[in-house]
Amino acid sequence: MKIEQSVVNIFAQQRIRTILVAMLMLTLTALAGCEGQAWNNPHPAAESGGNIIYSAFSERPKHLDPARSYSSDEARFIDQIYDPPLAYHYLKRPYQLIPNTLTAMPRVVYTDAAGNEVSAGAPQLAYSTYYFELQQGIRYQPHPAFARDENGDFLYRFGHAAEAAAYHSLANFKESGSRELLAGDYIYQLKRLADPSLLSPVRGLLSQYIDGMSEFSAAVSEAHDSLPDGQWLDLREIPFAGAQQSDDYHFSIRLKGKYPQFSYWLAYHFFAPVPWEADAFYHQPGLAQRNITLDWYPLGSGPFMMTRNNPNEVIVLEKNPNYRADFYPAEGEPGDEQRGLLDDAGKRVPLLDKAVYRLEKESIPFWTKFLQGYYDRSGISSESFDQAVKIGSEGVSLSEDMEARGVTLEKEVVLGTYYLAFNMLDPVVGDTGTRRERERKRKLRQAIAIAYDQQESLSIFYNGRGEVAMSPIPPGIFGYQSGREGINPYVFDWQDGRAQRKPLDEARRLLAEAGYPDGRNAVTGEPLVLNLDTTTAGGGTSAAQNWMIKQFRKLNIQLNIRGTDYNRFKEKMSTGNAQMFQWGWLADYPDAENFLFLLYGPNGQVVSGGSGVNSTNYNNQDYNRLFEQMQLMENSPQRMAIIRRMLAIVQKDTPWASAWHPHSYILNNHWVSNTKAHGISKSVLKFVAIDPQARADAQQTWNKPVLWPLLLVAALLALLSVPGVRAYRRRQQRRIVTD
């Protein structure tokens, strides 16, 4: 019996030792993880120490085709992949265009209708022709669209959908190829912009200027009608009068009249080259059903290529191994050298090997991972604002905690304008009816503009990250006016050296003169009810919308917020059935024309069938005439004088109840360098650098595992198992005695 009891004792002791060893192994595993990658690092261990920048996205990019994308969220990806002819200098301000894939800036020749060269200001000027010379030796990223066999035939060409059944993503195509970027690729992309089937958002605008674009669109539409659905149309076979190629490295684009802003468009991804091989490859039967399209898998000659597109998890950009010799700028504006922005001058770009964007739908988890060092850069949400920055007499600066962590802050006024607008075709608030009726409605709009306190909205809902707009033109654009000279005199007074909103009594006076004393119709006595259309389902339920209702209540006006889905909202806008709405515009290029055209009559949503940028349908003939005079002028005192007259007209007519220019705050962890906010270009990732070792060190410091709970749990488990062991021993002893 003694021998058998000792066996029981040994067994019990072994159980305790097993538990303790298991807990010890867990502890050692955590400690081992601390030697390399931080124990809670969400990124794969294989990426540890890599020259990789980590960021996030909250919604999948809808379009990655450069002919279709018109969203800044999409541009952050595709502008790293595609190569337009021109680019913006990364560091210089004011913004400066430079050659990108060209040997020099385009040469512009002005001619009359007969083709005779004339001066830029000649009254008989009929055409502006831009001549381009392409750098030689630029190559596209590796891609299966270029893959060929030993006989020079394309490897991946399918006659039927069944032949493509084995290919579920671009990664299934194991072979790839490349070729040189040629002049014809730029012309091919221009033809894609004109193709009506692609629904390019800039086709209507560019057709006004590019010679032969409308005619080409009509010819392409007719050609599509003659082909079976889905069959590829080779756009090379259809002539385009305004686009000509003289050889592999020279081409030209002819414009009707003069359009100085066209140079800015040449730095946009709309004009980036797309090879015909890619168009043919992606149009093969069976591929579109698997999202194997240019809209999902872009193909370019830029510094990066998209190697993974899983919008439910991650989007990955990797360095294009075929990228041309391109270098970090050697000069900038005053102060750049002191800020370290020229430390990498002359180095070949891109400076990163990879960019990883993970899906983060909520701001708080993203912010937590930024503080842990797992994201390199971060915006500042309302929830994290007080933790990130502080507001003092000198403005916004980093909090003590952020300064201690070595975080840096980028601040800029975004080249954009957001506004609360009236539909000027609406019978209640619009510019309709007799002259007297229009005057009354203008006073109604002015009264609302005075009552609506945009500065309060910015303070409450945006932590002050914006400034009240006096006109559509944001700071940093020629035509912007600040100080006393720039205020809207119908809404603000200049007092004590600053703009102050007119008193509410002035708004009530205007409201009464508009026929709505105390918010009621002077004839019928019925309350004035206005409708605000939004894309938020559920109507006025959010704090921001409740705040808006209170703004109108100051004048006893009832605001009814009508929430709907985006498609229904767009339909209301295009048909003129929205009464009031909120909208916004970010600059395509740094020119006043790009903002003042938001109120140009012919650009109205209704008159253009929904394609115009003038969402208010504002149509003042004096404004239109001045716009047409101003839009093609170079920046000059004469142009400024015209802009001032235009702004005075808009301020009086008040098609917008209120507007504001957003401010952008970006935080960078201390291992990130070469970050300078650029209000126009998104193709800046190639200049950004990181220090992987500094990041790894910070991750280790900021994420040290707390091990004592593991040891405590081990001890508790050991103690808790003692009664069980004793009970087991007693049962075994009774069994032995019984036996």
Q: What is the 3-state secondary structure (H, E, C) of 220-265?
A: HHHHHHCCCCCCCCCHHHCCCCCEEEEECCEEEEEEECCCCCHHHH
**What element of type H or E holds 91?**
none
- Predicted confidence at residue 26, as pLDDT, reads 52
Count of positions (residues) in the chain: 739
- Predicted confidence at residue 539, as pLDDT, reads 46
User: Which of 507, 663, 501, 655 is CA-nearest to residue 581?
Assistant: 655
In the predicted model, residues of the chain with pLDDT beneath 50 are 1-8, 10, 30, 32-34, 538-540
8 Å CB contact between 79 and 91: no
How buried is residue 372: exposed, middle or buried, by Cβ count under 10 Å (0-12/13-18/19+)? middle
8 Å CB contact between 280 and 89: no
User: Which of 664, 661, 663 is CA-nearest to residue 675?
Assistant: 664
- Label residues 480-508 b or e (16+ Cβ within 10 Å = b): bbeeeebbbebbbeeeeeebebbeeebbb
**What element of type H or E holds 404?**
helix 400-404
3-state SS of the chain: helix, strand, coil percent to 5?
A: 35, 20, 45
As given in the structure block, the two tokens for residue 458 are: 């910015």
How buried is residue 691: exposed, middle or buried, by Cβ count under 10 Å (0-12/13-18/19+)? middle
Whole-angstrom Cα distance, residue 599 to residue 635? 20
As given in the structure block, the two tokens for residue 514 are: 């508009």
Whole-angstrom Cα distance, residue 445 to residue 451? 10
Q: What residues contact residue 739 under an 8 Å CB cut-off, 6+ apart?
A: none
Q: H helices within 533-619, ranges in order?
A: 543-553, 566-575, 593-596
Whole-angstrom Cα distance, residue 106 to residue 99? 8
Q: In the chain, where are the structural domains located?
A: 2-39+705-738, 63-297, 416-664
8 Å CB contact between 289 and 301: no
The single-letter DSSP state of residue 167 is -
Whole-angstrom Cα distance, residue 474 to residue 587? 9
667 forms beta bridges with: 378, 409
How buried is residue 688: exposed, middle or buried, by Cβ count under 10 Å (0-12/13-18/19+)? buried
Which amino acid is residue 227, in one-letter code?
Answer: L
Within 13 Å, how many C-alpha atoms sit on residue 620's CB side? 24
CA-to-CA separations, 171 to 77, 81, 167, 275, 301, in angstroms, rounded: 19, 18, 8, 20, 19
Phi, psi of 16 (to 5 degrees): -65, -45
8 Å CB contact between 290 and 166: no
Whole-angstrom Cα distance, residue 539 to residue 463? 24
454-461 vs 543-553: helix crossing angle, rounded to 10: 160
- Predicted confidence at residue 29, as pLDDT, reads 53
- How many helices and strands (H and E) does the chain possess? 21, 24
Phi, psi of 321 (to 5 degrees): -65, -15
pTM reported for the whole predicted model: 0.84
CA-to-CA separations, 4 to 1, 13, 130, 729, 730, in angstroms, rounded: 5, 14, 100, 11, 12
**What element of type H or E holds 8?**
helix 2-35
8 Å CB contact between 375 and 54: yes
- Predicted confidence at residue 34, as pLDDT, reads 47
- Radius of gyration over every alpha carbon of the chain, rounded to an integer in angstroms: 32
Write down the CATH number for the domain with range 416-664.
3.10.105.10
482 forms beta bridges with: none
Q: What residues contact residue 734 under an 8 Å CB cut-off, 6+ apart?
A: none
Q: What residues contact residue 412 under an 8 Å CB cut-off, 6+ apart?
A: 663, 664, 677, 679
Q: Omega before 472 cis (within 30°)? A: no
- Predicted confidence at residue 21, as pLDDT, reads 55
User: Which of 226, 454, 225, 357 is CA-nearest to residue 685?
Assistant: 357
- State the SS3 of 647-706: HHHHHHHCCEEEEEEEEEEEEECCCEECCCCCCCCCCCHHHCEECHHHHHHHHHHHCCCC
Give how far the C-alpha of residue 47 lies from the chain's centroid of Cα atoms, to the nearest Å: 27
543-553 vs 435-451: helix crossing angle, rounded to 10: 120
As given in the structure block, the two tokens for residue 472 are: 């559509």
63-297, what's its fold? Dipeptide-binding Protein; domain 1 (3.90.76)
Locate tokens 């709907």: which residue?
Answer: 564
Phi, psi of 420 (to 5 degrees): -100, 120
Whole-angstrom Cα distance, residue 585 to residue 385? 25
User: Which of 536, 581, 735, 682 is CA-nearest to residue 69?
Assistant: 682
Whole-angstrom Cα distance, residue 532 to residue 61? 28
